[in-house]
Amino acid sequence: MRYYSWKAELLRVGVPLSLVAGTCALFDLGVLPLLVAAVLACAWLLRHLQRLSDWLYGGAKDDPPEAVGMWGQVFDVIYELQRDSSQNSDRLQAMIDYLHSSFASMSDAVVMLDPHGNIEWCNSSAHDLLGLREVDDKGRQLVNLLRSPAFLRYFEAERYQAPLEMVSPVNSLINLSISVSFFGRRNRLLFARDVTRTHRLEQMRKDFVANVSHELRTPLTVINGYLETFAEYGGENGRWDRAVDQMLQQSRRMNLLIQDLMLLSRLESVPKLADESLIRLRPLMEMIREESGTAAKGQRRIEIECDDNIAINGNANELRSAFSNLAVNAARYTAENDRIILRWYQDDYHAYFEVEDTGIGIEPQYIPRLTERFYRVDQSRSLDTGGTGLGLAIVKHVLIRHRAELRIRSAPNQGSVFTCVFPKSAAVAV
Ligand code: ADP
């Protein structure tokens, strides 16, 4: 396309006007011819403006009007821009159609929301899993259609890092995993997946562990009882006595294991915290100091640093079990004369129960896995100390039920700090 500058346009209008002005001066014709020429030039400009306006008003879809010079250039540039933009929007529309058709074929429910939480689009699985109707519910607020309190809390808190598990509003036998993410200008994309099978398997696993532990308890109590009797009345045959001693030790270990498994099953099967009470920390910490002192082989210096101005609101048995697990671990994984500190304090945001020790510590790569069941850094050492491998899993579950979390800082040969971080609301001034 040829480029016309304003100079060319000035020449196109200026040269005829100058010629008329020159002729008027030469033949002494006055200014009237010049005025007529100027009006004609203006009319020519207005005529092009009118054609531009008509063409744009019609959507600039037809071919541009024919025009010379700069006006022709303006028509052509607008036409090119308009064609590019319509090609772009065709491409975008094709992409959206492609995404819609791939989402539409998914077995997961997909819902697209505008920045105000109104439904823009949803696929047919959203009807089967969430009860949303693609055409009728378009433009409606999602929170008015999915009214489960758990969903409302999750959706409105906007903390979408972890998915939400909930029962389908369409069929209470279907379990859903809901995840939401932001895109564009705070638009949201919601996925709902049917996890009924995984949920059932998980439930079966929990039930199995709970039942097996329960069933094993009675025979083990009987075996334990007889072994204790044998150990009491032994003494004549050294080899026999050693064997009975070892059997007794192992059956006690199994007993502890079963107790821990049953506790874990209970914590998992009753998701809501019951029997909350106000617990003063100092007497609890003193009791835990006693317990962990006896769990250790040899002497430990166990100190208590307790803010007596605050108590904790929670389940006394569960918290005692969690704190005691941390303290007993500290005693197990320290050597004679190492130091252990039990701490209870708060800051502006949280309340903290902390167990610090100067023991063997943990390599950083093991720390993220410590709360898994039966995960041990050093298998032989852990068995040697009498651990079941379930202690930190119990701590984690107790803390989840108290809306708290476990933080672990540790360095090999320098010691460890296990901190239970409670929300400020759990700490009560006394
Ligand atoms: P265990 O019964 O084996 O102690 P836990 O779940 O209580 O099981 O702990 C898991 C692992 O974490 C332990 O095997 C041990 O390796 C490590 N651990 C826990 N507490 C401490 C600690 N205070 N110092 C060093 N290692 C620890």
- pLDDT tens by residue, 18-77: 888 888 888 888 888 889 988 998 998 899 889 888 888 887 777 888 888 888 888 888
Render 381-407 in DSSP notation, one character per residue: HHHHTT--S-HHHHHHHHHHHTT-EEE
Instruction: Report the atom number in ligand 1 closest to the C-alpha of 373.
Output: 6
Question: Is the pLDDT at 332 greater than 70, yes or no?
Answer: yes
Residues in contact with ligand 1 (CB, 6 Å cut-off): 325, 329-330, 333, 357, 359-362, 370, 375-378, 382, 387-393, 416
CA 216 to CA 259: how far, in whole Å? 10
Residue with tokens 């009006």: 39
Under the banding of pLDDT at 50, 70 and 90, the label for residue 241 is confident
Mean of pLDDT over the chain: 90
pLDDT for position 383: 62
- The DSSP code for 64 is P
Under the banding of pLDDT at 50, 70 and 90, the label for residue 1 is low
Name the pairing type of β-strands 301-306 and 339-346. Answer: parallel
pLDDT for position 348: 93
Count of residues making up the chain = 430
Q: List residues bridging with 418 in a β-sheet.
A: 355, 408
Local structure of 327: helix, strand or coil: helix
Task: Report the chain's C-alpha Rg in angstroms.
Answer: 40
CA 74 to CA 67: how far, in whole Å? 9
Angle at 426 between CA 424 and CA 427, to 5 degrees: 70
Local structure of 350: helix, strand or coil: strand
Distance of CA 60 to the CA centre of its chain: 48
For range 266-283, the mean pLDDT: 87
Nearest CA to ligand 1 atom 8: 389
H/E stretch holding 115 reads none
- The DSSP code for 176 is E
For range 153-159, the mean pLDDT: 93
pLDDT for position 86: 86
Written as six digits, the tokens of 68 are 């010379």
pLDDT for position 233: 83
H/E stretch holding 10 reads helix 6-26
- pLDDT tens by residue, 183-232: 988 999 999 999 999 999 989 998 999 999 999 999 999 999 999 998 88
Nearest CA to ligand 1 atom 14: 376
Instruction: Report the atom number in ligand 1 closest to the C-alpha of 325.
Output: 7
- pLDDT tens by residue, 101-143: 888 888 999 999 999 999 999 999 999 999 999 889 999 999 9
379 Cα to the center of ligand 1, angstroms: 10
For range 269-278, the mean pLDDT: 82
CA neighbours closer than 13 Å in the CB half-sphere of residue 82: 15
- pLDDT tens by residue, 208-219: 999 999 999 999
For range 277-289, the mean pLDDT: 96
> How much is the pTM?
0.68
pLDDT for position 268: 84
Work out the percent of the chain whose per-residue pLDDT is above 70: 98
Q: Which of 257, 260, 355, 370 to mutate to test the pocket of ligand 1 (most atoms within 8 A of CB)?
A: 370
Name the pairing type of β-strands 109-113 and 187-194. Answer: antiparallel
Question: Is the pLDDT at 234 greater than 80, yes or no?
Answer: no
